[in-house]
Amino acid sequence: MDVVVTGGAGFIGSNLVRGLLGEGHRVRVVDDLSTGKLANLEGVQQDVRIDHEDVQDVAAMRRAMDGAETVFHLAALPSVTRSIEDPIRTNGVNVNGTLAVLVAARDAGVRRVVYASSSSIYGDVPRLPKHEGMAPAPRSPYAAAKLAAEAYCQSFTRVYGLETVSLRFFNVFGERQDPDSEYAAVIPRFGARMLAGERPVIFGDGGQSRDFTYIENAVRACMLAAKAGPAAVGEVMNVACGARTSLRDLVAMLNAILGTELEPEFAEPRPGDVRHSEASIDRAAQLLGYRPTVDVPGGLRSTVEWFTGALAVRP
């Protein structure tokens, strides 16, 4: 099957590319490399077609999708913090870019678009676990953009018959996640500092919790969404482990893996962050057959092992 992965040189995208190649698919990567890196595709570059294009360019997207059956739309400008600093650019890439991808997919005769959404759309609703029937309450421009893009996906299914499936990822972590970005996610940020013998920095009191989801689970959900039956079309669903871990407990788990005793430093909470996040994954189980296969401790061990090797070969 011919497939397109937008954002295929990014963290989730590059791992998905490897999964798709492993199943024998012909893969085209679309990435402008603004946040993705060709290094993430090391070892598989020769097996994929790479288009250096902006997802907001409809004509370029039509060319990239010519003859493709499935599009995995992962290209985005990530980070709540970045969206607060630059909401215009966040909206451009995450909303206008998604609209361009949908228009191009419609015009190219693509069968299905699998869209990577975000748990951030739920906001700081105190009720847990968070399920798809809850009213969205985005707290940041990033979350608002992700919600708008979901709505575009559903509207293209209703109006044009383009099959779409939206996956709300919860705090995905694992190999190839960039620890050096100023907008780095919490696990690579903690891991990089602790591997260097430095104390991790927690914004807030450390009691806040997240439903951390190992990358292998996210990749599997994407591939299941591409093959799911008609009941999944036009739907949104959570992809997570269905359990939450506090940031204090995360530091303790990393200390246990690394054999260290590094106490966290605490800083002021960041605007737009939510206090607790935990997903109900019942809908994904029902519609996709999704169940997490790697838990947080197992995922952390694999991630630390990969980062240890990656940091060791840095110049």
- Residue 281 contacts residue 242 (beta carbons within 8 Å): yes
Give the number of residues written for the chain: 315
Report if residue 153 sits inside a domain.
yes
Report if residue 129 sits inside a domain.
yes
Count CB atoms within 10 A of the CB of residue 41.
22
Give the DSSP per-residue string, 226-243.
HH--GGGTT-EEEES-S-
Report if residue 287 sits inside a domain.
yes
pLDDT of residue 314: 53
Total number of domains constituting the chain = 1
Count CB atoms within 10 A of the CB of residue 313.
6
Instruction: Choose the catalytic residue: 115, 122, 142, 152.
Output: 142
Report if residue 249 sits inside a domain.
no
Alpha-carbon Rg for the chain in angstroms: 19
pLDDT of residue 179: 85
Report if residue 267 sits inside a domain.
no
Domain span at residue 283 reads 2-173+212-241+278-294
CA distance 244 to 27: 34
pLDDT of residue 113: 99
Determine if the peptide bond prior to 230 is cis (ω within 30°): no
Tally DSSP H helices, then E strands, for the chain: 11, 13
Report if residue 183 sits inside a domain.
no
pLDDT of residue 191: 92
pLDDT of residue 208: 95
Report if residue 105 sits inside a domain.
yes
The phi, psi pair for 32, rounded to 5°, reads: -90, 0
Q: What is the CATH number of the domain that holds 55?
A: 3.40.50.720
Q: Is the pTM of this model over 0.85?
A: yes
Contacts 24+ apart (CB under 8 A), 24-27: 25/1, 26/1, 26/2, 27/3
Report if residue 310 sits inside a domain.
no
Task: Mark whether 142 is an active-site residue.
Answer: yes
pLDDT of residue 93: 97
Could you list the pLDDT tens digit for every one of the 315 residues in the chain? 999 999 999 999 999 999 999 999 999 999 999 999 999 999 999 999 999 999 999 999 999 999 999 999 999 999 888 999 999 999 999 999 999 999 999 999 999 999 999 999 999 888 999 999 999 999 999 999 999 999 999 999 999 999 999 999 999 999 999 888 766 789 999 999 999 999 999 999 999 999 999 999 999 999 999 999 999 999 999 999 999 999 999 999 999 999 999 999 999 998 878 899 999 999 999 999 999 999 999 999 999 999 888 765 554
